[in-house]
């Protein structure tokens, strides 16, 4: 009899993936403008670090919040005691209004249908516990956020079956891909309970089109299954077309009178839009009373700190602030993405041009592969991490079916660092193209080209990773 549980022994937590291993390499040799200018630049971290000044200045103008005060009276005691899993009413109200504002107020949300959770990580897991038995499956379009393997499958025992999307049509979800995935699940004897999409997409950095959303709604209607729309990046849309939430499409199509209305659930978080991943603020929004009821009870296992709920309720209730923040944040993201893609362009690298959202760009490096294989993608990735000094995320870690794609983040560093990163990339491409197989690029002795991917993964996976996963 094993001393520990099966969950403790298996590696469904997915931490041995290359996605996380790149992080480890970064941690060993992190770039610093002054202390370590030759270090690895972190471009694998989807963080929004562009708008902290706006938050800090709001704090400076709202000293009451800092002192646990409301109207000059101390509410420390009340907050210290507040552990009601229904959440702070003022916070939920402010949160749903913020969500509506992000959607141009074309949809509104009912605060009693929001369930607060410790980050979207917890929200997604909780929804799985509510909607699927162990051994049942959710369909996810690829490429998808690597953390889903842990969040959706690890402790729940649920399965993920991929909906394959390819560059042939800009990675859009098609009816045939949906159907194929469903058949694949059936072949594997997995009962499909729903589809989970991330909109805007991580890692693609694109918003879903209305026709994709309509397609999904038709599909879940026909199959009588759920749809989870993880809209964690909804506030990071910086270019047209704007963000269309599945809720909007449902509303426009008068679906609120139908049964499918109850089968669509939204996941949200303040980690990306507001850049506050440390505060662990996630949410589930559902039109289904039973899901709200069950998820609310489950949220006991990961409530949001009352101290944090209070701070954010004050912040998000300030409509002047939210209006300015949303637009300013978008402006800055747009500018930063432009810098990145200009740099890519100079390096002769193309990217998914529909990139209009997210904190990253889906970059096409297929032309740099010696052959169209994932082994080659790994080799290229290793070069970029060790030789170029950029930690970017290989498409294979996102379950992309096409080798050669990489996710490159642009919102977690200064402009100067981004410029440097683009310079390094340009230099690398120039050398690489010139080399053309004849000239060997310098490799650090630790990483001989001969080492197979498998060996490398096993070696590094024995070490503990220290950073909570990026999205």
Partner 1 sequence: MVVLSKIATNDRHGENSLYFDGWKAYDMNPYHPTNNRDGVIQMGLAENQLCFDLSEDWIRKNPKASICTAEGVDEFKNIAIFQDYHGLPEFRQAVASFMGRVRGGRVKFDQERIVMSGGATGANELIMFCLADPGDAFLVPSPYYPAFDRDLGWRTGVQIVPVHCDSSNGFLITKAALEAAYEKAQEDNINIKGLLIANPSNPLGTVLDRETLKSLVSFVNEKNIHLVCDEIYAATLFSTPDFVSISEIMQEMEYCNPDLIHIVYSLSKDMGLPGFRVGIVYSYNDAVVSCGRKMSSFGLVSSQTQHLLAAMLSDEEFVGNFLEQSSKRLAKRHNVFTKGLAKAGITCLKSNAGLFVWMDLRRLLKEQTLEAEMALWHVIINEVKVNVSPGSSFHCSEPGWFRVCFANMDDETVEVALQRINAFVRQEKDGNNKAQGKRTKCLPKKLQLSFSFRRYDEGLMSPHMIMSPHSPHVPLSPLVRART
Question: Which CB, 289 or 353, lies closer to partner 1?
Answer: 289
Place of tokens 């432009």: 338
What's the rounded Cα separation, in Å, for the pair 181 and 399?
A: 14
Q: Shortest approach of partner 1 to residue 141 CB, angstroms? A: 20
Q: Determine if the peptide bond prior to 27 is cis (ω within 30°).
A: no
Task: Tell whether residue 458 is a contact of partner 1 (CB under 8 A).
Answer: no
Site for partner 1 in 410-429 (CB under 8 A): none
Site for partner 1 in 257-316 (CB under 8 A): 259, 262-263, 271, 275-280, 290-291, 294-295, 297-298, 300-308, 311
Task: Tell whether residue 466 is a contact of partner 1 (CB under 8 A).
Answer: yes
From 54-62, 351-359, 421-429, 452-460, span contacting partner 1 (CB under 8 A): 54-62
From 63-71, 171-179, 236-244, 329-337, span contacting partner 1 (CB under 8 A): 63-71
From 82-90, 317-325, 348-356, 403-411, span contacting partner 1 (CB under 8 A): 82-90
Q: Shortest approach of partner 1 to residue 364 CB, angstroms? A: 29
What's the rounded Cα separation, in Å, for the pair 220 and 106?
A: 23
Task: Tell whether residue 446 is a contact of partner 1 (CB under 8 A).
Answer: no
Q: Shortest approach of partner 1 to residue 194 CB, angstroms? A: 8
Site string for partner 1, 318-357 (x = CB under 8 A): ----------------------------------------
Place of tokens 């094993």: 2
Site for partner 1 in 22-51 (CB under 8 A): 47, 49
Of the candidates 133, 256, 353, 431, which one interacts with partner 1 according to CB under 8 A?
A: 133
Q: Shortest approach of partner 1 to residue 465 CB, angstroms? A: 8
Task: Tell whether residue 155 is a contact of partner 1 (CB under 8 A).
Answer: yes
Contact 83, 225 (CB under 8 A): no
Task: Tell whether residue 185 is a contact of partner 1 (CB under 8 A).
Answer: no
What's the rounded Cα separation, in Å, for the pair 292 and 113?
A: 6
Instruction: Report the candidate in 106, 114, 353 with the shortest Cα–Cα distance to residue 243.
Output: 106
Contact 363, 392 (CB under 8 A): yes
157-185 b/e (C-beta count within 10 Å ≥ 16 → b): bbbbbbbbbeeeeebbbbeebbebbbebb
Active site residues: 145, 230, 232, 272
Task: Tell whether residue 175 is a contact of partner 1 (CB under 8 A).
Answer: no
Question: Quick check: helix, strand or coil at residue 438?
Answer: coil
Task: Tell whether residue 86 is a contact of partner 1 (CB under 8 A).
Answer: yes
What's the rounded Cα separation, in Å, for the pair 426 and 406?
A: 16
Of the candidates 37, 67, 242, 345, which one interacts with partner 1 according to CB under 8 A?
A: 67
Contact 424, 389 (CB under 8 A): yes
Instruction: Report the candidate in 137, 288, 125 with the shortest Cα–Cα distance to residue 223.
Output: 137
Q: Shortest approach of partner 1 to residue 354 CB, angstroms? A: 28
| 161: its two tokens | 């079956």
DSSP 30: B
Cβ-based neighbours of 273, under 8 Å, separated by 6 or more: 48, 102, 232, 233, 234, 235, 236, 329
Place of tokens 């009451």: 64
Site string for partner 1, 220-239 (x = CB under 8 A): ----xxx-------------
Question: Which CB, 127 or 349, lies closer to partner 1?
Answer: 127
Of the candidates 24, 29, 112, 174, which one interacts with partner 1 according to CB under 8 A?
A: 112
Cβ-based neighbours of 336, under 8 Å, separated by 6 or more: 50, 410, 411, 415, 418
What's the rounded Cα separation, in Å, for the pair 157 and 134?
A: 4
Instruction: Report the candidate in 457, 417, 456 with the shortest Cα–Cα distance to residue 42.
Output: 417
Tell me how long the chain is: 471
Question: Which CB, 14 or 395, lies closer to partner 1?
Answer: 14
From 128-136, 195-203, 381-389, 450-458, span contacting partner 1 (CB under 8 A): 128-136
Query: Residues in contact with partner 1, total (CB under 8 A)?
Result: 91
| 183: its two tokens | 């058949």
From 32-40, 116-124, 245-253, 414-422, span contacting partner 1 (CB under 8 A): 116-124
From 35-43, 329-337, 447-455, 462-470, span contacting partner 1 (CB under 8 A): 462-470
Instruction: Report the candidate in 337, 407, 342 with the shortest Cα–Cα distance to residue 142.
Output: 407
Site for partner 1 in 200-219 (CB under 8 A): none
Question: Which CB, 301 or 458, lies closer to partner 1?
Answer: 301
**Residue 174, Ramachandran bin (φ over 0: left; ψ between -120 and 50: alpha; else beta):** beta
Q: Shortest approach of partner 1 to residue 193 CB, angstroms? A: 7
């Amino acid at each position: 009899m094993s001393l520990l549980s099966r969950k403790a022994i298996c590696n469904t937590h997915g931490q041995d993936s290359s996605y996380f291993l790149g992080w480890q390499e970064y941690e060993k040799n992190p770039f610093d403008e002054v202390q370590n200018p030759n270090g690895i630049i972190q471009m694998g971290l989807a963080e929004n670090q562009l708008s902290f000044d706006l938050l800090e200045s709001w704090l400076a103008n709202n000293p009451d919040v800092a002192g646990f005060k409301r109207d000059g009276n101390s509410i420390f005691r009340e907050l210290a005691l507040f552990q009601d899993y229904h959440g702070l009413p003022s916070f939920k109200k402010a949160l749903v209004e913020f969500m509506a504002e992000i959607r141009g107020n074309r949809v509104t949300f009912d605060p009693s249908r929001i369930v607060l959770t410790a980050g979207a990580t917890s929200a997604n897991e909780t929804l799985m516990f509510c909607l699927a038995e162990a051994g049942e499956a959710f369909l996810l379009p690829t490429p998808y956020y690597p953390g889903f393997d842990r969040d959706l499958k690890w402790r729940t025992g649920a399965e993920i079956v991929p909906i394959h999307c390819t560059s042939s049509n800009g990675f859009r979800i098609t009816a045939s891909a949906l159907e194929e995935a469903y058949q694949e699940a059936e072949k594997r004897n997995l009962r499909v309970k729903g589809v989970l999409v991330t909109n805007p997409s991580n890692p693609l950095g694109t918003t879903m089109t209305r026709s994709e959303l309509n397609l999904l709604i038709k599909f879940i209607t026909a199959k009588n299954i759920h749809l989870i729309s993880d809209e964690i990046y909804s506030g990071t849309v910086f270019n047209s077309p704007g963000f269309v939430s599945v809720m909007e499409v449902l509303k426009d199509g008068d679906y609120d009178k139908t049964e499918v209305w109850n089968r669509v659930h939204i996941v949200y978080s303040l980690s990306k839009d507001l850049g506050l991943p440390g505060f662990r603020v996630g949410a589930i929004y559902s039109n289904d009373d039973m899901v709200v009821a069950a998820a609310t009870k489950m949220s006991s296992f990961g409530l949001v700190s009352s101290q944090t709920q209070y701070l954010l309720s004050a912040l998000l209730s300030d409509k002047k602030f939210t209006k300015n923040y949303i637009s300013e944040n978008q402006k800055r993201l747009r500018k930063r993405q432009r810098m990145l893609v200009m740099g890519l362009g100079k390096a002769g690298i193309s990217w998914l041009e529909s990139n209009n959202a997210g904190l990253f760009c889906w970059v096409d490096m297929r032309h740099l592969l010696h052959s169209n294989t994932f082994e080659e993608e790994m080799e290229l990735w290793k070069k970029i991490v060790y030789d170029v000094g950029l930690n970017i995320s290989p498409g294979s870690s996102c379950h992309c079916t096409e080798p050669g794609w990489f996710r490159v983040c642009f919102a977690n560093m200064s402009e100067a660092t981004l410029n440097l990163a683009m310079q390094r990339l340009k230099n690398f491409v120039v050398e690489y193209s010139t080399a053309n197989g004849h000239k060997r690029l310098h490799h650090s002795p630790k990483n001989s080209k001969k080492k197979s991917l498998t060996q490398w993964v096993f070696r590094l996976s024995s070490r503990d990773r220290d950073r909570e996963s990026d999205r």
